[in-house]
Copies of this chain bind each other. A is one copy, B any other.
Amino acid sequence: MSLLVIGSVALDTIRTPHGEAREVLGGSAVYFAVAASFLTAVRMIAVVGEDFGEGPLSQLRARGIDLSGLQVAAGRTFRWSGEYSDDLNQRSTIATHLNVFESFRPRFEPGDRNVSHLFLGNVDPDLQRFALNETKPALSACDTMNFWIEQKIDSIKRLLPAVSGLLVNESEVRLLAGEPNMFVAARRILDLGLRFLVVKRGQYGAALFVGGRYFAVPAYPVEKPIDPTGAGDSFAGGFMGHLARTGRDDAATLRQAMVYGAVLGSFSVEDFSIRRFALVTPQAIEARCADLRGFMSLDGSGT
């Protein structure tokens, strides 16, 4: 089994009520790969600029992530800066400079043609479909965002029947379906040809829709959230990492993958960038997963 992620690598500048972090490692492929790396081998296809430097790279190498697909392009690395409200629930973007990410085109190696698991981070849906056609994975999932839903809805609707699953947040699923009720929206989106849909709900956990059935996982309790950036991508990394590790995609495995997603997401928000992951161990992940299973257990015991 192998897990390939295609997405963004960015240098983020983030202000929250808990402080500020300048030019720290971020981007969907980074959070995803770091989270998934605790569960399975991960390879990343992404682009950085000539200014990226060795510091951020070494953080990714330390997690054993295969970086041979990381292109270094002439120009500057993608930069994003944003600010969070006091309760961390509202985010406003201060600046987005796509830089080298604007003309990013993934390049594949022969080994990518038989990858078992693929995650398409939030990039242009036409690029997502190109990557899917190039790799033909056994199981694939993608993310998207409001910008693409508003600009390229037809491209997304062509993409969805070709992927196994979609992971999006609650406002995105509503916008994509043109329907305010999450349950109705989920059914409409599954009808486009997806096998599963994951709706990420932040501090309220996440919902899984598969085979006409609904599953809800609560968020792992975080008493001191520092920075929500990347929580959704870390969730996706935990979720896809568990699927790749087990090589299964039955309903029970998808539900267990939701627990790993919630737990990897919970670590992500406990510090800026991917810093918190430097202190995470497989044992700490399993302990939180056992706790989380207990939080949803009707007999009051963990499983």
Contacts and interface: CB of A to CB of B under 8 A. Distances in A.
Contacts of A300: 213, 215, 251-252, 255
A216 B224 contact: no
Q: Which of A295, A296, A297 has the most CB of B within 10 A?
A: A296
Interface in A168-210: 180-184, 201, 203-205, 207
A292 to B, nearest CB: 9
Contact of A299 (B87, B224, B252): B252
Total copies of the chain: 2
Nearest to A211: B300
A293 B296 CA distance: 9
A295 B255 CA distance: 10
A258 B225 CA distance: 27
In the complex, which of the residues A216, A255, A293 has the most CB atoms of chain B within 10 Å of its own CB atom? A216
A216 B295 contact: yes
A184 B204 CA distance: 16
Contact of A259 (B86, B204, B298): B298
A221 interface: yes
A303 interface: yes
A298 B303 contact: yes
A132 to B, nearest CB: 28
B298 A256 contact: yes
Contact-residue size bin, chain A (C-beta under 8 Å from the other chain): 35 or more
A223 interface: yes
A108 interface: no
A284 to B, nearest CB: 18
A218 interface: yes
A294 interface: yes
Nearest to A17: B180
Given A181-B224, A201-B204, A223-B184, A216 B298 contact: no
Nearest to A180: B87
A87 B184 CA distance: 14
Interface in A248-299: 251-252, 255-256, 259, 293-299
Nearest to A253: B300
A214 interface: yes
B213 A221 contact: no
| Chain B CB within 10 A, most for which of A222, A293, A300 | A300
The list of the 3 closest CB pairs from A to B, nearest first, reads: A216-B218, A204-B204, A251-B300
Given A204-B205, A215-B296, 5 more contacts: A181-B225, A214-B221, A215-B300, A255-B299, A255-B300
